[in-house]
């Protein structure tokens, strides 16, 4: 990728294609050769079709030759997490229960990427139905962290994070229910954004927990993430929870700086992470202050309750969302001696352990007699967190914290310990419960050379300000690396 089209950021790449400095076919060929080299080691993709990719590239080149050079992603490689429905590629959500399923329609995000002339590289690996923090729960393969192949890329959007980090795609889309974009972005050293709930259409996103799920971009730079979010952020009448009206411009926030922005360091989040991660968050805070931000520590006790509330609400919604996988209309069917037997056998063989675990948790939490004790309490906790954020945002514009408590862990290290796996999401979950946007920006590496991500959080629809902070944070990270002499 050194020096080739894949070294360019998305904005420059589409500009080079538009100016006919590079053809889309050249871009596609570069992608194919990068994938041939890296994919066997990393395993980021569940579906690749080089032939289709090259055909699409040739078609775009023909159009460009005819002067059709519009499209904000013109010739830019984009990978899609395999829980986003595509009519020209299989969509499995990382589950055996959807093996070979060819959807008859396209997700809104896939349509938007294609209409802006992006080239879809393939469908990326994920924890089954996006349930996990390491991508080890995929029914198909394990994805490796490009920075250390013995380690996980994080999850559940581990395939998308690893694809961008390894240069197999310039951009990627992931989904974030409790941190599934930001945590793998942090572990793979790329930028990852979880927008405001309702900012990006969920139509065609295979639901995990509907009130928490949100699609967002992965990119190597904040600028590229802004570009992709500008493309996919649009009201969609097919999604009743889609926010009405215009989305703010993000790219224009690049050089505004953080002068007089009020930024709060959430002490409860910082206290929950490793020494090195904590040290890095505080370094970022210091540099932001030097850039003119007003930085202060703030306590948000309710966020510590987020994890417990999340692991009731998300499984509860999932238990209902996953009821449609019954063997009747699509996907896997295992025949049985009776209707109930068919349902049971199909679901027993089709779902993996983590999915079953969450269906059981969620079913229990919603059962009559237990609803008030679990689901009702979790909803009340969610409201408590939302109210606490509302209070805090009276005094602060943005909040700062770690993205993940630790850097990438070893493949297999936490696989048999669900509770310690769930702890990975402790810093990211509060934004999902509140419906707020958050962005993870790489901020150097730890002693073992593993990436560390720093997270900026903002109130609902604060994307413009959030990106303004993220652009500065990215610049400060470069400065920091120079200062410490990396």
Partner 1 sequence: MSKSRTAKEQEMSWVYEGYELVVGLEVHTELKTSSKLFCSCANTFGSTPNTNVCPVCLGLPGTLPVLNRKVVELAIKIGLALNCEVRKSTFHRKNYFYPDLPKGYQISQYDLPINSEGYLDLPSGHRVGIERAHIEEDTGKITHMGSSGRMDKSSYSLIDYNRAGVPLTEIVSAPDIYSPDQAREYVSELRGVLVALGVSDGRMEEGSLRVDANVSVRPIGSSELRTRCEIKNLNSLRSLVRAIDYEGKRHVKLYRRGEAPIQETRHWDENKQRTDSLRSKEEANDYRYFLEPDLKALAPTESLVLQIAGEIVDTPRQKRAFLVESLAGEEMADQIEKAIDHELFPYVRHAIEAGISPRLAVARTANELASIISDALYLTEDRFVEVLRLEESKEISSSQAKVLLNALCQQDQSVADTIESLDLKKADDAHTRNMVEAVVSDSPAEWSRFVEGQEQLMGFFVGKVMKLTSGKADGSVVKDILLQLRATKN
Count the neighbouring beta carbons within 10 Å of the beta carbon of residue 456: 27
Q: Could you give the 3-state DSSP secondary structure of residue 249?
A: coil
Q: With binding defined as CB under 8 A, does residue 386 bind partner 1?
A: no
Q: With binding defined as CB under 8 A, does residue 352 bind partner 1?
A: no
Nearer to partner 1 among residue 27 and residue 359 (C-beta): 359
For 170-221, give the secondary structure using H, E and C.
CEEEEECCCCCCHHHHHHHCCEEEECCCCCECCCCECCCCCCCCCEEEEECC
Q: With binding defined as CB under 8 A, does residue 338 bind partner 1?
A: yes
Nearer to partner 1 among residue 40 and residue 369 (C-beta): 369
Stated as kind and residue range, the H or E segment containing 219 is strand 215-219
Place of tokens 């209409």: 115
Q: With binding defined as CB under 8 A, does residue 158 bind partner 1?
A: no
Set 156, 169, 291, 440: catalytic member? 156
Q: What is the nearest approach in angstroms of partner 1 to the Cβ of residue 43?
A: 23
Stretch near partner 1 under the rule CB under 8 A, chosen from 146-154, 265-273, 368-376, 391-399: 368-376
Residue choice 12, 37, 308, 320 for contact with partner 1 (CB under 8 A):
320
Residue choice 176, 268, 326, 425 for contact with partner 1 (CB under 8 A):
326
CA distance 404 to 451: 11
Q: With binding defined as CB under 8 A, does residue 84 bind partner 1?
A: yes
Q: With binding defined as CB under 8 A, does residue 448 bind partner 1?
A: no
Question: Is 201 an active-site residue?
Answer: no
Q: What is the nearest approach in angstroms of partner 1 to the Cβ of residue 327?
A: 9
Q: With binding defined as CB under 8 A, does residue 98 bind partner 1?
A: yes
Q: With binding defined as CB under 8 A, does residue 343 bind partner 1?
A: yes
Q: With binding defined as CB under 8 A, does residue 415 bind partner 1?
A: no
Stated as kind and residue range, the H or E segment containing 192 is strand 191-194
Residue 124 φ then ψ, to 5°:
-95, 155
Q: With binding defined as CB under 8 A, does residue 66 bind partner 1?
A: no
Set 14, 23, 38, 81: catalytic member? 81
Q: For strand 171-175 and strand 77-81, is the pairing parallel, antiparallel, or unpaired?
A: parallel
What's the token pair of residue 69? 């050079």
CA distance 250 to 200: 14
CA distance 325 to 181: 25
Q: With binding defined as CB under 8 A, does residue 373 bind partner 1?
A: no
Nearer to partner 1 among residue 218 and residue 375 (C-beta): 375
Q: Find the angle CA(316)-CA(322)-CA(328) to the nearest 5 degrees.
A: 150
Question: Is 448 an active-site residue?
Answer: no
Q: In what order do the strands lie in the sheet with 215-219?
A: 45-48, 119-124, 77-81, 171-175, 215-219, 191-194, 438-445, 451-457, 398-402, 262-266, 294-298
CA distance 225 to 456: 14
Q: With binding defined as CB under 8 A, does residue 204 bind partner 1?
A: yes
What's the token pair of residue 196? 């405001």
Nearer to partner 1 among residue 319 and residue 404 (C-beta): 319
Q: With binding defined as CB under 8 A, does residue 130 bind partner 1?
A: no
Q: Read out DSSP for 428-467?
A: THHHHHHT--EEEEEEEE-TTS-EEEEEEE--TT-HHHHH
Q: Find the angle CA(260)-CA(295)-CA(199) to the nearest 5 degrees.
A: 75
Stretch near partner 1 under the rule CB under 8 A, chosen from 257-265, 270-278, 335-343, 439-447: 335-343
DSSP 43: -
Nearer to partner 1 among residue 323 and residue 349 (C-beta): 323
Stretch near partner 1 under the rule CB under 8 A, chosen from 139-147, 151-159, 208-216, 407-415: 208-216
Q: What is the nearest approach in angstroms of partner 1 to the Cβ of residue 199?
A: 15
Q: With binding defined as CB under 8 A, does residue 245 bind partner 1?
A: no
Beta bridge partners of 77: 119
Residue choice 211, 304, 308, 345 for contact with partner 1 (CB under 8 A):
211
Residues in the interface with partner 1 (CB under 8 A) total 46
Q: For strand 451-457 and strand 398-402, is the pairing parallel, antiparallel, or unpaired?
A: antiparallel
Q: Could you give the 3-state DSSP secondary structure of residue 84?
A: strand
Question: Is 169 an active-site residue?
Answer: no
Q: What is the nearest approach in angstroms of partner 1 to the Cβ of residue 22?
A: 34
Binding residues (CB under 8 A) for partner 1: these are 83-85, 91, 93, 98, 101, 103-105, 107, 202-207, 209-211, 237-241, 316-317, 319-320, 322-326, 328-330, 338-339, 343, 363, 366-368, 371, 375
């Amino acid at each position: 990728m050194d020096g080739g089209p894949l070294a360019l950021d998305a904005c420059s790449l589409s500009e080079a294609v538009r100016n006919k400095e590079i053809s889309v076919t050249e871009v596609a060929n570069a992608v194919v050769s990068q994938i041939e080299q890296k994919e066997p080691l990393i395993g980021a993709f569940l579906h690749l079709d080089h032939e289709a990719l090259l055909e699409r590239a040739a078609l775009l080149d023909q159009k460009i030759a005819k002067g059709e050079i519009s499209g904000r992603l013109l010739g830019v490689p984009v990978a899609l997490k395999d829980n986003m429905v595509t009519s020209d590629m299989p969509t499995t959500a990382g589950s055996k229960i959807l093996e070979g399923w060819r959807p008859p329609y396209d997700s809104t995000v896939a349509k938007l990427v294609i209409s802006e002339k992006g080239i879809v590289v393939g469908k990326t690996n994920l924890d089954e139905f996006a349930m996990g923090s390491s991508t080890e729960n995929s029914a198909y393969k394990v994805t490796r962290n490009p920075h250390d192949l013995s380690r996980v890329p994080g999850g559940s959007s581990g395939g998308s994070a690893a694809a961008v980090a390894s240069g197999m795609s310039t951009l990627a889309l992931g989904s974030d229910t409790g941190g599934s974009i930001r945590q793998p972005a942090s572990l793979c050293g790329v930028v990852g954004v979880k927008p405001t709930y309702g900012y990006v259409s969920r139509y065609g996103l295979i639901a995990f927990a509907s009130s928490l799920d949100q699609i967002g971009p992965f990119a190597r730079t904040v600028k590229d993430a802004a570009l992709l979010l500008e493309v996919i952020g649009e009201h969609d009448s097919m999604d009743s929870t889609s926010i009405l009206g215009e989305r703010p411009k993000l790219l224009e926030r690049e050089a505004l700086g953080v002068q007089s922005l009020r930024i709060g360091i959430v002490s409860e989040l910082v206290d929950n992470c490793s020494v090195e991660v904590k040290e890095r968050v505080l370094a970022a805070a210091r540099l932001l202050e030097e850039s003119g931000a007003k930085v202060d520590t703030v306590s948000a006790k309710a966020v510590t309750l987020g994890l417990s509330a999340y692991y009731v609400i998300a499984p509860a919604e999932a238990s209902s969302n996953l009821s449609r996988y019954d063997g009747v209309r699509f996907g896997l069917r295992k025949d049985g001696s009776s209707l109930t037997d068919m349902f049971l056998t199909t679901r027993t063989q089709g779902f993996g352990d983590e999915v079953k675990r969450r269906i059981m948790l969620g079913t229990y939490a919603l059962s009559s007699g237990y609803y008030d004790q679990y689901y009702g309490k979790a909803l009340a906790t969610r409201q408590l967190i939302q109210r606490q954020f509302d209070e805090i945002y009276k005094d602060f514009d943005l909040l700062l914290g770690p993205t993940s408590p630790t850097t990438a862990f070893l493949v297999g290290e936490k696989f048999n310990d669900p509770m310690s796996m769930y702890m990975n999401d402790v810093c990211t979950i509060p934004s999902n419960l509140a419906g707020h946007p958050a962005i993870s920006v790489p901020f150097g590496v730890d002693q073992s050379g593993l990436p560390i991500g720093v997270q900026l959080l903002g109130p609902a629809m604060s994307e413009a300000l959030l990106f303004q902070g993220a652009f500065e944070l990215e610049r400060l990270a470069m400065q920091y690396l120079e200062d410490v002499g990396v």
